[in-house]
Amino acid sequence: MELSPTAYVILGMLAVHPMSGYDIKTTVDYSVRFFWAASYGQIYPELSRLSEAGLVEGAAEPASGRRRTVYRLTTAGQDELADWLAQEPQVFETRDEALLKLFFADAAPDTAAASIDAKRRYHEAVLAQLREIETTGKPEGHPSVVLRFGIESCEWMVAWCEREAGRLREGAVR
């Protein structure tokens, strides 16, 4: 069975500790979504596929009177995750609408600085979120290295946006 990137997100989350689909989504939103998003519409079908493949197993656990299934990695799931982690990464994709609009801004030059300004505001907001996470003292270990990457990338991006928007407004880019 070939696994999707979302399946590996799930296996990685369950390697930390058992979680429900809701817990996985909440954890994704607080951690890896800054570089790899996963929606409920991806998580729940993947949990079913992973369960059918014997990579995770779920057990019903009531929480606050609600039915929920908490999933755990099986030994096969741990092995699959370890095999994937040992492989060289293949996807280094960035999707950035602001850069796409900037690329085509010759068709409407007055829009270029606004696209960069929006990009700067976005990265300032992400930077504030990442710094807030940093103040909690978590994450630790390898996730802390990823957190530093996010902070330093956002700092660079904010500086780049300020510099390039200034150049556009000065007319240095034609």
Cis peptide before 139 (omega within 30 of 0): yes
SS3 71: strand
CATH topology classification for 5-86 = Arc Repressor Mutant, subunit A (1.10.10)
pLDDT in tens, the chain (174 residues): 899 999 999 999 999 999 999 999 999 998 898 888 899 999 999 999 999 999 999 999 877 677 889 999 999 999 999 999 999 998 888 889 999 999 999 999 999 999 999 999 999 999 999 999 999 988 889 999 999 999 999 999 999 999 999 999 998 887
CA distance 117 to 166: 10
pLDDT of residue 123: 97
CA proximity to 76, closest of 59, 60, 57 = 57
CB 6 within 8 A of CB 42: yes
Q: Where are the domains of the chain?
A: 5-86, 97-170
Specify burial of residue 115 (Cβ count, 10 A radius: 0-12, 13-18, 19+).
buried
SS3 107: helix
CA distance 165 to 112: 8
pLDDT of residue 164: 96
